[in-house]
Amino acid sequence: MFIKELVPIFGSKTKAQEIVLLLHDAKKVVRQGFYDEELPTVEKFCTENKICLVKSKFKVLLADEYAYSNKGFRVPETDTRRGMYFVYFSKEEQNAWLASYYELMNNDANLGQLLGYPRCCVEFFGKRFTEDTTNLQRPPTNVFTNITQRHRDAVILSHFPCKSDCQESITLARKYLDVLIKVDNRRVEELLELLKVH
Ligand SMILES: [Zn+2]
């Protein structure tokens, strides 16, 4: 299963990558944003691949497309404005429900932990992320924690590293690359090229 084969279903290589990591048990829970019309194909894939999916009861307007932030403007499902649903994926049904519950309760610390983010980065996010400061991106120093190319669909991590040389984030990114290289080694080459720090 190549990353690009999953792009028509999930919408981007970054999202497809995370699903591959989930299928290979490198991630326990994955959270992504989707518009209503994208959901049927996503749901079909999940049924076929035994992934549990829980959809948020609210929609988020102007949310970061890459779900780096969960502080978008929430509106009820009945609101007619175009918003994204948050979708929580896991092989374990209770983990998908737990993630949706933590998000609903604005429990960023437990949500971050469940999503597998390093403790130092979860704490950093809790202290620094505000309504006015929604981009905690740091100048990149290495390919692993480089999140500056996510608009070009190239990123390994799905959280804000507390610093560019956060060792736990680097270890996590290496673990993800180890899995991805076995699945789609050309995607990894592409990632390393795009994330190269000059
Ligand atoms: Zn960290």
Q: How many CB atoms lie within 10 A of CB 179?
A: 18
pTM assigned to the model: 0.91
Q: How far is the CA of 100 from the centre of ligand 1 (A)?
A: 23
pLDDT (tens, 9 = 90+) of the chain, 198 residues, equals 789 999 999 999 999 999 999 999 999 999 999 999 999 999 999 999 999 999 999 998 865 555 555 557 889 989 988 899 999 999 999 999 999 999 999 999 999 999 999 999 999 988 877 767 777 778 889 999 999 999 899 999 999 999 999 999 999 999 999 999 999 999 999 999 999 997
Strands in 84-90's sheet, in edge-to-edge order, are: 29-34, 84-90, 52-61, 73-76
CA–centroid distance, 183 to ligand 1, in Å, is: 27
- Report d(CA 112, CA 116) in Å as an integer: 6
Give residue 118 CA to ligand 1 midpoint distance, Å.
6
Segments making up each domain of the chain, as ranges:
3-195
Residue 19 has phi, psi (to 5 degrees) of -65, -40
**Cα of 119 from ligand 1 centre, angstroms:** 7
Question: If you measure from the C-alpha of residue 104 to the centroid of ligand 1, how many angstroms do you get, rounded to a whole number?
Answer: 24
Residue 125 Cα to ligand 1 middle (Å)? 9
CA–centroid distance, residue 74 to ligand 1 (Å): 28
Closest CA to 122 of 134, 114, 130: 114
CA of 122 to the centre of ligand 1 (A): 7
